[in-house]
Amino acid sequence: MTGTDHTQSPVPFIQPVRCGIVPPYILARLAEAEDPRFSVASEAAKRSLGLDAPLRGLRATERRTTALPRPSARAVPGVIHRTISDALHLQTLPGRVVRTEGQPPVADVAVNEAYAGLGDTHDLFWRRYQRDSIDGRGLPLDATVHYGREYDNAFWDGERMVFGDGDGEVFNRFTISLSVIAHELTHGVTQFSANLAYQGQSGALNESVSDVFGALVEQFAAGQGAASASWLIGAGLFTEQVQGQALRSMKAPGTAYDDDVLGADPQPASMSGYVETEEDYGGVHLNSGIPNRAFYLVAEALGGNAWEAPGQIWYDTLTGSGLTSTIDFAGFARATATAASARYGHGSVEHDAVLAGWDGVGVTLGPLRAAS
């Protein structure tokens, strides 16, 4: 047993802030850039920060007054329903519908990448965890491409995926990375399950869970085992002018990029580097590196495919009854140990790998270790 699955009955959920893939500290550095090589990117970053700012002011505990749209009738379980729209470089959603479920590819590569990425994400959650879309009830998956002008981000707004085109100097189009698409859709999964508040450690866990399943969708689609995977989030987003591989590295937080304009990746890899800050909802994009590496250490220890035992444990934790919306790292660690024990047995290889993974980043379970 892994506890009660929240996804099978309607539950109140928190108004999500705009969960963008690019941390505001990267955009802020880019907005201040004086290098003429990045003049377009600098202006694009300023506009992108301006677009994100109003939603950044929403309180993470503000409640929605309406429910998300649901199918008019219960769909056949596991059958995906995708709709891709084109914002035509405006900031009005959803935009013009350009591809729906079952239609062939179109001439627009961003439309096709979004369509495929939604499918790959749905595929992992359904085939591996028997989750019927992001809400567990067959919710149609909607996405909008070409949002804004040179918009440097992609986000989940509580109802749909939205992708910018990037500025072309620092950022490529945001549909280029499957881990980005899956990351953002996983914010929807979290919204409909644990509903982790987007602030402080619970917010960093919210970001980390999206990184975990973003990486797992990419690995599952490519058939990659834990040992051969890159564990990068957002590989391909940076242009060749940037000294960096991706936005984040789960394997080695703090090493994803080191660039004259963007600076060095500031993510800590363990609690010894934990960042206390009021920026970015209390450092949700910074401190997510700590639980990210904990998951990687679990996957490394178990070997094989990370979407199997490690992913199952994290999924059981996310959708079980052991999380509160404001849970901290230690509480989440205990919940993963409990989930591992429930599914694989106390003292199993999987259970011990979970304990060791959290120990490896400085999150220890103390006296609860033996009782998890």
Q: Which residues are catalytic?
A: 184, 285
Buried b or exposed e, range 1-11, using 16+ CB within 10 angstroms: ebbeebbeeee
Separation of alpha carbons 103 and 79, rounded Å: 15
Report the 3 state secondary structure along the chain.
CCCCCHHHCCCCCECCCCEECCCHHHHHHHHCCCCHHHHHHHHHHHHHHHHHHHHHCCCCCCECCCCCCCCCCCCCCCCCCEEEEECCCCCCCCCEEEEECCCCCCCCHHHHHHHHHHHHHHHHHHHHHCCCCCCCCCCCEEEEECCCCCCCCEEECCCCEEECCCCCCCECCCCCCHHHHHHHHHHHHHHHCCCCCCCHHHHHHHHHHHHHHHHHHHHHHHCCCCCCCCCEECCCCECCCCCECCCEECCCCCCCEEECCCEECCCCCCHHHCCCCCCHHHHHHHHCHHHHHHHHHHHHHHCCCCCCHHHHHHHHHHHCCCCCCCCCHHHHHHHHHHHHHHHHCCCCHHHHHHHHHHHCCCCCCHHHCCCC
